[in-house]
Structure 1
């Protein structure tokens, strides 16, 4: 089962920060660790599907010449656009991965805490699309909770296995 836009629009209608990205110590620390895992100080062109309200995007923006952030929720996109207004090199769009995928190649793709909501088959499609759009020596960083989730459809481990199998 894939969670659709209505699911996430309802979450963002109730709160502009439904996962407490700004206030939860776990989320703050995860962001710091995610950024610390990046192997370069600067990236030419990055893609972040599932950007939610743009908290991680704001940090990625400081390390990218160009950042494309997507979310399937119209409300999340509006929040992320507002959050990232000061960053003219960041584009925030509504997009549904893996059915849609941006054109071009990226030297950084960050898939963080969003693939739970995809079916295993869609996780495999996401993995192939990510691998196919990475530049030579590009970095794909995937970060997912590894325990069962209340509203997720799968755990993060199957996606990470699919990414490895796709060569991402």
Structure 2
């Protein structure tokens, strides 16, 4: 079997998919802040979500373990001087610096349960220094598939148990689950002083 990204930047057919566009839009709309100082996105794949995140932050670091994915994402992010792309494997590797938002999309079920627990702890430790904007977003496919017995629902259970952050938003349908955890003490409406 050829490497996943050997045939191009879109092995999961994100381009032109209403399912993928809807999921991406729901994730972006669910974030409790319009803008973040810094975002870390491990498992960036071909950079489709990265491109949208780059428009919502002052600094973006996108990682992937696959060299070709890093190349494709770097090409997609060329217009954004504040975006950096590198090869890296979480949780064994972890970037230096402070991040207000960490986006974990569609890759945690590739990890062992103990690695997901370590990843949640690393996210928490990084975000503790980020104040009220500290946010984790995670989105995963819910349908069963043989290669990854944990499945999306179990991945989110593990993250919730080990992040020890309030879950401020959740969307689950027949296909995927999206969770947002944040240290924000006020809702979006409360921050804006909205009464009605």
Q: TM-score, normalised by structure 1?
A: 0.90
- Report the structure number with the largest CA radius of gyration: 2
Q: Aligned partners of 1:151, 1:22: CA distance in 2, in Å?
A: 24
Q: Aligned partners of 2:147, 2:83: CA distance in 1, in Å?
A: 29
SS of residue matched to 1:14: coil
Q: TM-score, normalised by structure 2?
A: 0.77
Q: Aligned partners of 1:69, 1:17: CA distance in 2, in Å?
A: 16
Q: Once structures 1 and 2 are overlaid, which stretch shifts more, 43-52 or 10-19?
A: 10-19
Aligned with residue 33 of structure 2, among 29, 34, 40? 40
Aligned with residue 144 of structure 2, among 144, 148, 154? 148
Structure 1's unaligned 5+ residue stretches are 1-6
Equivalenced residues, count: 161
SS of residue matched to 1:99: coil
Q: CA deviation at 1:159?
A: 2.4
Compare relative contact order (CA 8 Å, sep 6+) and give the higher one, 1 or 2.
1
Choose between structure 1 and 2: higher helix proportion.
Answer: 1
SS of residue matched to 2:61: strand
Q: CA deviation at 1:145?
A: 1.2
Does the 8 Å CA contact 1:48/1:69 hold for their aligned counterparts?
yes
Q: Once structures 1 and 2 are overlaid, which stretch shifts more, 148-157 or 126-135?
A: 148-157
Structure 2's unaligned 5+ residue stretches are 166-196
**Structure 1 moving runs of 4+ over 3 Å:** 150-153
Q: CA deviation at 1:153?
A: 4.7
